[in-house]
Amino acid sequence: MNNAGMLNYWIKAAMIGAIYAVLTISLAPISYGVIQVRVAEALTVLPYFSPAAIPGLFVGCVIANIFGGNGLLDIIFGSLATLAAALAVSRINNKYLAPLPPVVINALVVGLILHYILGFPAHLTILWVGAGQVLACYGLGLPLLLFLEKRRHLLR
């Protein structure tokens, strides 16, 4: 990749990270906690189109989790869950399955983090986070993916 290509890659990553962080922080009442719908998780479908979304989502999630108030465990492991989900999405070829890794990975990892931090039963935190992820990733992310698929020129 030439210098212009690398610059384009990192600009995309930075933009995605900034959008993720701003969406999450600005919608804080529904972005954090046991029952959450993190609207920015809709962006986790972007690695389906561009590898630049992977570091962007990770850094955006780190920044968002710093403001979330759930501490170092959430900052580290919640962000690593988003990184793992983004890597998984980048390897999926079926657009209808692309939102699934963020749902499953975040339900398990973030659900267990919130169980540990807040003391709610694990099965409930996993269920609640998973339900919020379904809303964000399939309710918002899949329509975003379908929209962008028809308008690939917007992704250049």
Tell me what the mean pLDDT of segment 81-93 comes to: 98
pLDDT of 131 reads 98
Q: Please, which pLDDT band fits residue 82 given cuts at 50, 70 and 90?
A: very high
- Model confidence at 1, in pLDDT bands (50, 70, 90)? confident
Whether this prediction's pTM lies above 0.85 is answered by yes
Range of the domain at 21: 3-155
Write out the chain in H/E/C secondary structure.
CCHHHHHHHHHHHHHHHHHHHHHHHHCHHHHCCCCCCCHHHHHHHHHHCCCCHHHHHHHHHHHHHHCCCCHHHHHHHHHHHHHHHHHHHHCCCCCCCCCHHHHHHHHHHHHHHHHHHHCCCHHHHHHHHHHHHHHHHHHHHHHHHHHHHHCHHHHC
How many structural domains does the chain have? 1
Mean pLDDT for the chain?
96
Distance of CA 138 to the CA centre of its chain: 12
Which structure tokens are listed for 44?
Answer: 């986790």
Per-residue pLDDT reduced to its tens digit, 130-142: 999 999 999 999 9
Predicted confidence (pLDDT) at residue 153 exceeds the cutoff of 90: no
Q: Is the pLDDT of residue 6 over 80?
A: yes
